[in-house]
Amino acid sequence: MAYATVAEMAKLRPGGIDAEDEDRAEALLDEASQLVDEATGTTWVAPATPPRAVKSVVIQVALRVFDNPNEVSGEQLGAYSYQKPQDRVTGLELSKSERRRVLAAVGKVTAGSVRAPLGYDVTSLAGLTAIGDGGDPL
């Protein structure tokens, strides 16, 4: 089951969606919804409705593929040239920010890491004593 409708998708696309493209749009919405299910481990069954952020991401992913089915990342016409950044998601997949949005929407927190400096900061060790050395300061 798609978490958004073709009508909702058409409202967000300049020019809407032509009648002959509605089946393709519906298929993309279904695929994008399944991507969200896989990322979150959650499935909404009617009458339950997914959070707004989930619906938004499903439409965003479906529109990205609907408007760029061949995943073209650059074009050139005469002297005009344009290329999208290489790290940009172009296909039927969730970007890092989309994944974070849907996980947050279902209440799942992603783990992260913080870079720590290499070695010890001597000023933070002032006043500490080593274990088993009779209490002598470090």
Q: Please identify which residue in the block is written with the tokens 């298929």.
A: 27
- The ranges assigned to domains in the chain are 6-110
Side chain identity at residue 50, one-letter code = P
Burial (CB count <10 Å: 0-12, 13-18, 19+), residue 128: exposed
pLDDT in tens, the chain (138 residues): 789 999 999 999 999 999 999 999 999 999 999 999 999 888 888 777 888 999 999 999 999 888 877 666 677 788 887 776 555 666 788 988 899 999 998 888 766 677 766 666 656 656 656 555 555 554
Q: What is the pLDDT of residues 18-34, one digit of tens each?
A: 999 999 999 999 999 99
What confidence score (pLDDT) does residue 30 get? Answer: 94
* Side-chain half-sphere exposure of 37, counting CA atoms within 13 A: 12
Q: What is the pLDDT of residue 47?
A: 72
* Nearest one of 2, 6, 45 to 24, comparing CA atoms: 6
Q: What helix, strand, coil percent values describe the chain, rounded to 5? A: 40, 5, 50
- Whether the predicted model's global pTM rises above the 0.85 cut: no
Residue found under tokens 């909702």: 8
To which residue do tokens 């009648």 refer?
19
